[in-house]
């Protein structure tokens, strides 16, 4: 077990691993796993953004995948209209990354602002149920968008977004692009939770009434962090749409919100690096549990690995609340 003063070294090691990962995978003749690694990095952005809410502010948001979906649909819809040469709300479709990606962030932030403004009127279990319902509402909204494929979603026929100099359609370049964005987002969150605003969030988590009585309105702070988290998830969604070149309502299904929560708790809430490890382990399990079961001759479980994963999750919740982070690090003080 390490102490928290080893964290910087741990960060450096993790960063190094992520940077050299494509070489390792290519050398090990499993370059197909670069796609999984890209998914890991994107997933980690979403998980870190959710940790801002659950871990740092104590807001159990069960609809986080909705913003993921909004970001993805912004990318998908603009690509669709670019392909069809039609307009959406008076604007031409486009694949220009410098327009699409910021727009995806802004629009998911806008959704988070509206949803947060309403949902944050409530507390506790009401908040859980309402964020879940909002997620479901957006899911059905996307399903009802017949023009964009309804239930089936839509392909991005012309490939990924276009950026100057960087060719996102090259999968190694795309991995590094996502990694760079992840690093920037992680650094931003790291600064954020250690800022004065971060301390306000921690105080709200611990005792909201006390915050109110010393003259800080919890509502505004909570709304701001909700919008930031929503924008982060939207960014992740926009990258995911680019990664798979496919967008569907499935992205916003409520089980995806559940998956994100699992990743956060699996890694350790309120630690930022924990959810990244959580995403790593989650994707590792998803990728390799079926293979392991296959090797063991348990083909029945290969397809149904979640039958094992469900109880594992319950055990983690009941007995290992601090997650992977708590397994690796001893908390200071």
| Cα Rg, the chain, nearest whole Å | 20
CB of 270 to another protein, least distance (A): 11
Distance CA 111, CA 65 (A): 12
Compare residues 128 and 162 and give the one whose CB is closer to another protein: 128
CB–CB of 257/64 below 8 Å? yes
Compare residues 43 and 305 and give the one whose CB is closer to another protein: 305
Listed residue (56, 6, 125) closest to 268, CA to CA: 56
Compare residues 94 and 136 and give the one whose CB is closer to another protein: 136
Compare residues 54 and 65 and give the one whose CB is closer to another protein: 54
CB of 143 to another protein, least distance (A): 7
Q: What is the DSSP annotation of 59-99? A: ---S-THHHHHHHHHHHHHHHHHHHHT-EETTEE---BHHH
Report how far apart the first and last C-alpha atoms of the chain are (Å, whole number).
15
| E strand or H helix that includes residue 146 | none
| E strand or H helix that includes residue 247 | strand 246-247
CB of 257 to another protein, least distance (A): 10
- Other CB atoms within a 10 A radius of the CB of residue 249 amount to 22
CB–CB of 251/148 below 8 Å? no
Compare residues 139 and 177 and give the one whose CB is closer to another protein: 139
3-state helix, strand, coil in the chain (%, to 5): 75, 5, 20
Distance CA 8, CA 26 (A): 28
CB of 227 to another protein, least distance (A): 18
CB of 115 to another protein, least distance (A): 9
Distance CA 252, CA 63 (A): 8
Compare residues 20 and 298 and give the one whose CB is closer to another protein: 298
Task: Show the beta-strand stretches assigned E in the chain.
Answer: 2-3, 87-88, 91-92, 154-155, 246-247, 329-330
CB of 140 to another protein, least distance (A): 4
Compare residues 14 and 258 and give the one whose CB is closer to another protein: 258
Positions that interact with another protein (CB under 8 A): 54, 60, 62, 118, 121-122, 124-126, 128-130, 132-134, 136-137, 140-141, 143-147, 254, 258, 261-262, 265, 269, 300, 304-307, 309-314, 317-318, 321
Compare residues 88 and 163 and give the one whose CB is closer to another protein: 88
CB of 253 to another protein, least distance (A): 10
Tokens 């960063």 sit on residue: 15
Distance CA 187, CA 15 (A): 12
CB–CB of 71/241 below 8 Å? yes
CB of 163 to another protein, least distance (A): 33
């Amino acid at each position: 077990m390490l102490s928290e003063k080893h964290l910087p070294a741990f960060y450096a090691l993790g960063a190094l691993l992520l940077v050299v990962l494509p070489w390792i995978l290519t050398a090990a003749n499993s370059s197909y796993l670069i796609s999984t690694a890209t998914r890991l990095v994107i997933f980690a952005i979403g998980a870190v953004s959710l940790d801002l809410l659950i871990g740092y502010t104590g807001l159990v948001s069960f609809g986080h995948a909705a913003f993921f979906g909004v970001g993805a649909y912004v990318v998908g819809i603009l690509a669709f209209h670019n392909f069809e040469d039609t307009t959406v709300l008076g604007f031409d479709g486009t694949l220009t990354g410098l327009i699409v990606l910021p727009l995806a962030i802004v629009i998911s932030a806008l959704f988070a602002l509206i949803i947060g403004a309403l949902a944050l009127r409530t507390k506790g279990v009401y908040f859980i149920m309402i964020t879940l319902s909002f997620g479901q509402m957006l899911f059905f909204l996307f399903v009802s968008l017949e023009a964009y494929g309804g239930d089936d979603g839509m392909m991005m026929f012309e490939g990924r977004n276009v950026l100057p100099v960087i060719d996102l359609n090259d999968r190694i370049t795309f991995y590094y692009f996502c990694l760079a964005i992840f690093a920037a987002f992680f650094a931003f969150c790291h600064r954020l939770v250690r800022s004065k605003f971060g301390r306000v969030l921690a105080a709200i988590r611990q005792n909201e009434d006390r915050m109110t009585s010393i003259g800080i309105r919890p509502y505004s702070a909570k709304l701001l962090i909700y919008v930031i988290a929503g924008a982060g998830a939207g960014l992740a969604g926009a990258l995911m749409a680019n990664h798979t070149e496919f967008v569907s309502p499935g992205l916003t299904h409520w089980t995806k919100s559940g998956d994100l929560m699992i990743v956060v708790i699996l890694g350790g809430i309120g630690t930022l690096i924990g959810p990244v490890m959580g995403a790593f382990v989650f994707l590792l399990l998803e990728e390799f549990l079926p293979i392991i079961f296959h090797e063991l001759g348990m083909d029945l479980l290969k397809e149904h690995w979640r039958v094992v994963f469900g109880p594992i999750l319950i055990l983690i919740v009941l007995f290992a609340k601090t997650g992977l982070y708590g397994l690796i690090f001893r908390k200071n003080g």
